[in-house]
């Protein structure tokens, strides 16, 4: 470790000053606040009291050891907590939501899961498990004061949304599972069908690289980024800036630890995940969203809607994994209609 004494002293002084300032502000703040007023919560040591910060609120997780970033946009009786995918990506690629949900009178909340983007990024790999992330969502729900809300999960966020609903659905008003099948095996089986789109030369090269396990090679990454991902992740060119920004800011350590080296293999602890048999336990109104060109089989999304007692499905015929961009009108018309009817 490169220890810099001057930086350490400066950082320590800054921490002390910030802590002292925060205590002074709390002491000077009005005493008529309520426990549910997030800006004036006397127990809140992560957010400045009485200050407007564009709907941003830091929330303690893992029993207060770390903090995650959240942001409220819009206001209304319908409240939606948005779970981004990955694992290891932040909320950024879902920013298209801002162009549709608030205008429809829907109150939406982003949050960057622990280890991602604006939230704390610890190095402890024991944190990167599905059950631990589910408990984090519950901590975020409590921190935001949400109840009887709609949980939206896209891709890996859909995994977490299903798992959360199976454990904590008493808090849910509704559920949206966007572009995520009910098992890792189902996802992997369908995503690998996209390899059939490759030219014979590239298919041969990909097979050679995979046989060697050389997933960090330039040849492998080139085929992913130039041929396969444009066919199934997002079919418009250029890719939307929120998506490319999310790719730049992604935590690939988490992605590899839980998923693997690409969308075509699952070697991490996501391997073996399967909730097909438990879907009937989800009783809240649910919308499953799929797309014709998605790495998830749209037939799986329809099947999930049949297994969940109060579910319907929406298939975007022109869309892929990010059909909120490449089949935008179909996606948001269907999503908003569901949100307003729940």
pLDDT digits (tens, 9 = 90+) for 239-249: 999 999 999 99
Task: Give this prediction's pTM.
Answer: 0.87
Crossing angle of the two packed helices 156-168 and 130-144, in degrees rounded to 10: 70
Whether residue 39 has pLDDT greater than 90: no
∠ Cα 132 89 202 (to 5°):
120
The tokens describing 337, both together, are: 């209609």
Catalytic annotation on 155?
Answer: yes
Cβ-contact 326, 236 below 8 angstroms: yes
Whether residue 65 has pLDDT greater than 60: yes
Catalytic entry in 155, 186, 191, 320? 155
Whether residue 37 has pLDDT greater than 50: no
Catalytic annotation on 321?
Answer: yes
DSSP state of 89: -
Helix (H, G, I), strand (E, B) or coil at 308: coil
Contacts of residue 316, Cβ cutoff 8 Å, sequence gap at least 6: 289, 290, 291, 292, 323, 327, 330, 331, 334
Helix (H, G, I), strand (E, B) or coil at 34: coil
Summarised one tens digit per residue, pLDDT across range 193-233 is 999 999 999 999 999 999 998 998 999 999 999 999 999 99
Q: Name the residue with higher pLDDT: 40 or 238.
A: 238
The tokens describing 26, both together, are: 């709390």
Contacts of residue 121, Cβ cutoff 8 Å, sequence gap at least 6: 115, 251
pLDDT category, 44, cuts 50, 70, 90?
confident
Catalytic entry in 294, 300, 326, 327? 294
Cβ-contact 40, 49 below 8 angstroms: yes
The tokens describing 255, both together, are: 């992605």
Write down the pLDDT at residue 10: 38
Catalytic entry in 191, 320, 321, 326? 321
The dihedrals phi and psi of 153, each to the nearest 5 degrees, come to: -135, 130
């Amino acid at each position: 470790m490169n220890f810099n004494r001057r930086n350490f002293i400066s950082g320590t002084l800054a921490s002390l000053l910030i802590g002292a300032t925060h205590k002074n502000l709390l002491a000077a703040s009005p005493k008529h606040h309520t426990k549910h007023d997030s800006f004036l919560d006397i127990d809140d040591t992560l957010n400045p009291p009485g200050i407007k910060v564009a709907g941003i609120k830091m929330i303690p997780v893992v029993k207060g050891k770390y903090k995650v970033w959240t942001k409220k946009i819009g206001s209304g009786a319908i409240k939606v907590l948005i779970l981004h995918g990955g694992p290891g990506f932040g909320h950024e690629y879902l920013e298209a939501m801002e162009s549709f949900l608030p205008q429809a009178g829907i109150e939406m909340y982003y949050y960057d899961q622990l280890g991602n983007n604006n939230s704390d990024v610890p190095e402890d790999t024991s944190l990167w498990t599905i059950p631990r992330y589910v408990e984090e969502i519950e901590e975020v729900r409590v921190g935001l004061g949400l109840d009887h809300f709609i949980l939206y999960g896209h891709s890996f966020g859909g995994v977490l949304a299903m798992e959360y609903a199976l454990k904590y659905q008493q808090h849910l008003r509704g559920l949206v599972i966007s572009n995520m099948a009910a098992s890792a095996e189902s996802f992997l089986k369908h995503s690998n069908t996209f390899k059939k789109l490759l030219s014979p030369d590239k298919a041969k090269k990909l097979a050679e690289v995979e046989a060697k396990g050389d997933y960090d090679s330039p040849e492998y990454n080139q085929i992913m980024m130039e041929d396969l991902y444009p066919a199934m992740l997002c079919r418009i060119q250029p890719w939307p800036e929120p998506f490319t920004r999310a790719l730049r800011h992604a935590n690939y350590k988490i992605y590899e630890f839980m998923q693997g080296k690409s969308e075509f293999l699952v070697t991490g602890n996501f391997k073996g995940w399967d909730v097909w048999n438990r879907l009937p336990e989800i009783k809240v109104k649910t919308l499953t969203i799929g797309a014709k060109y998605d790495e998830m089989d749209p037939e799986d999304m329809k099947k999930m809607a049949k297994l969940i007692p109060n579910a319907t499905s929406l298939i975007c015929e022109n869309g892929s994994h990010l059909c909120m961009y490449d089949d935008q009108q179909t996606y948001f018309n269907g999503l908003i209609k569901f949100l307003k009817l729940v």
